[in-house]
Amino acid sequence: MRNEVAPVRHGTMRERNLAVVLGEVTRRQPVSRARLAQVTGFTKTTVSSLVATLKDAGLVKEDGPVRGGERGRPATAVSVNGDRVAGLGLEVNVDYLAACVLDLGRRIRHRHIVAAANQGRDPERVIAALTRLAEQAIAAAADQGLSVAGAVVALPGALDRMRGRLRTAPNLGWSDVAAGELLEAGLPPLPLPADYDNEANLAALGELWFGDGPELGAYVHVSGEIGIGAGIVVDGRVFRGAHGFAGELGHVVVDPGGAPCACGGRGCLEQVAGQEAILRAAGIADATATSPASPDGPLSALVALLERGDERALTAVRRAGESLGQALAAAVNLLDPDTIVLGGVFSTLAPWARPAAEAALAGGAGVVRGSPPRMTVSRLGGDAAALGAAALVVERVLGDPGKLLTVARPTAAPAP
Amino acid sequence: MRNEVAPVRHGTMRERNLAVVLGEVTRRQPVSRARLAQVTGFTKTTVSSLVATLKDAGLVKEDGPVRGGERGRPATAVSVNGDRVAGLGLEVNVDYLAACVLDLGRRIRHRHIVAAANQGRDPERVIAALTRLAEQAIAAAADQGLSVAGAVVALPGALDRMRGRLRTAPNLGWSDVAAGELLEAGLPPLPLPADYDNEANLAALGELWFGDGPELGAYVHVSGEIGIGAGIVVDGRVFRGAHGFAGELGHVVVDPGGAPCACGGRGCLEQVAGQEAILRAAGIADATATSPASPDGPLSALVALLERGDERALTAVRRAGESLGQALAAAVNLLDPDTIVLGGVFSTLAPWARPAAEAALAGGAGVVRGSPPRMTVSRLGGDAAALGAAALVVERVLGDPGKLLTVARPTAAPAP
DNA sequence: CTCAATTTGTACATGACCTGGACTAATTAA
DNA sequence: TTAATTAGTCCAGGTCATGTACAAATTGAG
């Protein structure tokens, strides 16, 4: 009914205050303790104490005194310590596995994508391969003096987030796979509990931290692959709906009385703008057989046709763009985003699909808002979800450093 | 970017803990201090202290010792004090003004609806009338020993929530009206700052506290009047989107190539299922001229036809229901609610419109979810928004009692 | 070159608030 | 009547932010 509120004790208070200070440090680094006291409203004493704790935990560092040219004692600059703690992002997708290590400064410290035809393959084998990738990533982090605080795993399908149980992954042909258990069994325990989320949601978050960032405001990130999903991000948080199925853009009806869809409806967006549908309409056969040999899958063939000006391909893609715009218009009316980000296949096809999509969107997007939202194209590559996953770990550490204090102290060294 | 976190000091800690205890009291009342200590995890000492503070503020009361039949010292029951503090809800609508006073137990202590043809009327006059209504409500509350903690105002249109500035209210024919300023100028200042919100959002919240309540889960509340809006509620909070325009269900396209709409699109839901459109299709003329004389407006004529089995009316309403179901299918795919609540005119027309709506919804609602969400009909009357507004004030008091402590102490009586 | 002004960061006493154990109060079961 | 049991308060103790010095490190003026 109402938001549950947890009791606050002294420890909780300190944890939140650590987060407040760390937040200001990330925002303003390098920054002096005195300035932190100003902006947070804490006394200098309190800030000093909080910074000391954060420094002990390896989350911030002192950069030595900086003479500011003004008079008075020079400040010692405090900034985020990117050399101790890192986040791990993992991704399972139809044609690749990916791992990514990000330090607290969101610099990529390790990134590994391996092509793999996972469709229909034994889930245990695939997760075992992912586990090896994770081990390598953790080792690579350790080589750089980084200890991995936690991991987030991107999975392509509907899942139980807490336990990492994949309920169905239509494109993989999997159902009810205990991906989380399998993964964690083969991995050393990390300070923060592992988390699992839909690939589309994490790709959307990746856009927040590696794409146009805060400029996006509230946004809808369209991640079309085989299916078409949308990640809805408001206030830096993913909107999931009641059961985590929000953003099913692919099954919004754009053509009542159109082709029947597996979902039971007719004329779903996926039937017109899904990767297979586009390839079929463009006259490219056997869209299903994804060959990991060709880097972009069957899409590269389509792009070649488009670049050559093939009329049939152009029409197919324009048609897809138009339908996408129609579905997005519904999304805009219901969700009122600032921005639409085209990701997945649509970022590749954007040069040809976007004009039609924008026109259709403008034609049906709300009376009160005034103008339709901006439409941008994702510049992130294929492993956007792995990137977003790793960044989410970093975000959790920065957003609640207290969680690490009890466990952390990276490689350990007893105090003298 | 990340959620801003405010510094926590000792005072903040206590405020939150007061809210924790008050929350458990509302949930479990009547309840002993000892039990509160168990469920909150506080020590008995702390609970006693917090309860004492809440009692001083008039938010909870002791009901005297209750012998529970078990052995040991009998507990003194603590429960919410409904006789001291109240919330005020106000509503401006096209054909009426409403005020509603709710005590902390969410009992209605005063309710006043006056018919008024506000369409096109001078905003200042209308707000002046509302101010009088509010004054009467505050006086009526005082007569019952209640002091009004704050007010929330429901307005029909797009607005600046903080300042109560109505940007456009198409159905009233108003634009850029400083409703908040006008209202607050004529009213004594209240302990909590006034807040303003869209009528549809507040009606949706009313459903939470006076309708089926927590059973609803995440839900979409359709409030069709002249236009068709939807209030989206997740976790007890309204989802507003980036600019507060989320839930514009009326402009979701259900018939591409259909009748042109004022919003620039074609075949918007409002063109088929808006009140005017239904009346026109049912053959009832002059839908616009709302006569405040007939209690339900022109809708009663339609209902009469429907009850008589008029084929044209039945078809019109079924058609509207079907289109509504289609638009809702898009909403379900994008928002993943547990429940759809039909409110506004649709609650009146539900007996005839609902089957078609449910069928259309089932036909297009998502592949992964499995089943479409439940559909229920609002049992709240016309002033749902005023009710929801008042309940929102109550909710704020219960959710953050600390805000009142500094100011409250109702009619005052110096301690001996 | 020296001293006042200025700013940074720390030390120490103070105060707010939660905790924990002891203690009193009020019952029921034996 | 007594032991057991449960409710609620009292008081000492601990944690953490606050506020007032105060030492440290620099710039600018005379």
Residue A64 pLDDT greater than 90, yes or no = no
Choose between A315 and A292: higher pLDDT.
A315
Per-residue pLDDT tens listing for chain B (416 residues): 455 789 999 999 999 999 999 999 999 999 999 999 999 999 999 999 999 999 999 999 999 888 777 788 999 999 999 999 999 999 999 889 999 999 999 999 999 999 999 988 999 999 999 999 999 999 999 999 999 999 999 999 888 888 889 988 888 899 999 999 999 999 999 999 999 999 999 999 999 999 887 788 899 999 887 789 999 999 889 999 988 889 999 999 888 888 888 777 788 899 999 988 999 999 886 544 444 444 456 788 899 999 999 999 999 999 999 999 999 999 999 999 999 999 989 999 999 999 999 999 988 765 556 788 999 999 987 889 999 999 999 999 999 999 998 643 333 333 32
Residues (2-41, chain B) with CB within 7 Å of strand C atoms: 10-11, 13-14, 17, 41
Looking at the domain assignment, is residue B1 inside a domain?
A: no
Residue A293 and residue A393 in one domain: no
Looking at the domain assignment, is residue B3 inside a domain?
A: no
Residue A293 pLDDT greater than 70, yes or no = no
B308 touching chain A per CB within 8 A:
no
Residue B36 has a pLDDT of: 97
Looking at the domain assignment, is residue A410 inside a domain?
A: no
Residue A243 has a pLDDT of: 87
List CB contacts of B258: < 8 A, sequence separation 6 or more: B266, B267, B268, B271, B272
Among residues A15, A141, A155, A58, the alpha carbon closest in space to that of A413 is found at: A58
**Edge-to-edge strand ranges of the sheet holding A96-103:** A108-115, A96-103, A85-92, A147-155, A195-198
Residue A105 and residue A74 in one domain: no
Dihedral, A392, A394, A398, A400 alpha carbons, nearest 10: 60
Query: Which of A 214-243 lie inside 8 A of B, CB atoms?
Result: 214, 217-218, 230, 232, 234-237, 239-243
Looking at the domain assignment, is residue A1 inside a domain?
A: no
Q: Which residue's alpha carbon is at the shortest distance from the C1' of C24?
A: B73
CA-nearest residue to A8 within chain B is B13
Residue B122 and residue B177 in one domain: yes
Query: Which of B 350-409 lie inside 8 A of A, CB atoms?
Result: 363-369, 395, 398-399
Q: At B256, give phi and psi (nearest 5°).
A: -55, 130
- Asked if B331 and A335 touch (Cβ cutoff 8 Å), the reply is no
Residue A225 and residue A247 in one domain: yes
DSSP A211: S
Residue B223 and residue B372 in one domain: yes
Looking at the domain assignment, is residue B131 inside a domain?
A: yes
User: Quick check: A218 and B241 CB within 8 A?
Assistant: yes
- Asked if B403 and B191 touch (Cβ cutoff 8 Å), the reply is yes
Last residue of a domain, which of A63, A80, A97? A80
Min Cα–Cα distance to chain A from B41, Å: 8
Among B158, B242, B365, the residue with its CB nearest the CB of A337 is B242
CA-nearest residue to B230 within chain A is A334
Residues (15-54, chain A) with CB within 7 Å of strand D atoms: 17, 41-46, 49-50
Residue A392 pLDDT greater than 70, yes or no = yes
As ranges, strand D nucleotides with an atom below 7 A of a protein CB are 4-12, 14-21, 23-28
Is strand D in 7 Å reach of the CB of B308? no
User: Quick check: A367 and B5 CB within 8 A?
Assistant: no
Query: Which of A 2-21 lie inside 8 A of B, CB atoms?
Result: 2-10, 12-13, 16-17, 19-20
Summarised one tens digit per residue, pLDDT across range A142-174 is: 999 999 999 999 999 888 888 889 988 888 899
User: Quick check: A249 and B2 CB within 8 A?
Assistant: no
Residue A261 has a pLDDT of: 82
Looking at the domain assignment, is residue B413 inside a domain?
A: no
* Domain with B51 in it: 10-80
Q: How many domains does chain A have?
A: 3
Residue A348 pLDDT greater than 90, yes or no = yes
Residues (53-92, chain A) with CB within 7 Å of strand D atoms: 65, 67, 69-74
Summarised one tens digit per residue, pLDDT across range A187-221 is: 999 999 999 999 999 999 999 999 887 788 899 99
Looking at the domain assignment, is residue A5 inside a domain?
A: no
Residue A368 has a pLDDT of: 57
Q: How far is the CA of A33 from the C1' of C3 (A)?
A: 28
Is strand D in 7 Å reach of the CB of B13? no
Residue A89 and residue A75 in one domain: no
Residue B253 and residue B352 in one domain: yes
User: Quick check: A213 and B368 CB within 8 A?
Assistant: no
Among residues B100, B87, B88, the alpha carbon closest in space to that of B384 is found at: B100
Last residue of a domain, which of B80, B99, B127? B80
Min Cα–Cα distance to chain B from A308, Å: 32
Choose between A348 and B416: higher pLDDT.
A348
Choose between A61 and A367: higher pLDDT.
A61
**What is the domain-level CATH number for residue A20?**
1.10.10.10
Q: How far is the CA of B16 from the C1' of C15 (A)?
A: 20
Adjacent-strand bridge partners of A268: A253
Burial group, residue A415, by CB count within 10 angstroms (0-12, 13-18, 19+): exposed
Is strand C in 7 Å reach of the CB of A76? yes
User: Quick check: A2 and B13 CB within 8 A?
Assistant: no
Q: Cα(B196)–Cα(B130) distance, rounded to whole angstroms? A: 14
Looking at the domain assignment, is residue A253 inside a domain?
A: yes
Q: Cα(A63)–Cα(A31) distance, rounded to whole angstroms? A: 10
A413 touching chain B per CB within 8 A:
no
Summarised one tens digit per residue, pLDDT across range A36-50 is: 999 999 999 999 999
Other CB atoms within 10 A of residue B364 CB: 26
Among residues B165, B187, B225, the alpha carbon closest in space to that of B88 is found at: B187
Residue B382 has a pLDDT of: 80
Q: Cα(A251)–Cα(A233) distance, rounded to whole angstroms? A: 19
Residue A144 and residue A182 in one domain: yes
Residue B213 has a pLDDT of: 78
Q: A405 vs A147, A152, A399, B135, CA distance in Å?
A: 13, 20, 13, 54
Min Cα–Cα distance to chain A from B413, Å: 32
Work out the average pLDDT over A387-392.
Answer: 97
Q: Is B296 left (phi over 0), alpha (psi -120 to 50) or beta?
A: alpha
Min Cα–Cα distance to chain B from A95, Å: 22
Mean pLDDT of chain A: 89
Residue A332 and residue A221 in one domain: yes
Q: How far is the CA of A38 from the C1' of C1 (A)?
A: 35
Of the residues A5, A207, A272, the best mutation for testing chain B's interface (the one with the most B CB atoms within 10 Å of its CB) is A5
Residue B279 and residue B369 in one domain: yes
User: Quick check: B330 and A326 CB within 8 A?
Assistant: no
Among B16, B337, B368, the residue with its CB nearest the CB of A248 is B368
Min Cα–Cα distance to chain A from B269, Å: 11
Among residues B55, B99, B101, the alpha carbon closest in space to that of B80 is found at: B55
Among A217, A334, A365, the residue with its CB nearest the CB of B242 is A217
In chain A, residues with a C-beta closer than 8 Å to the C-beta of B252 are: 329-330, 333-334
Min Cα–Cα distance to chain B from A165, Å: 15
Residue A232 and residue A122 in one domain: no
Residue B2 has a pLDDT of: 53
Adjacent-strand bridge partners of B230: B222
Residue A369 has a pLDDT of: 65
A244 touching chain B per CB within 8 A:
yes
Residue B270 and residue B317 in one domain: yes
**What is the domain-level CATH number for residue B243?**
3.30.420.40
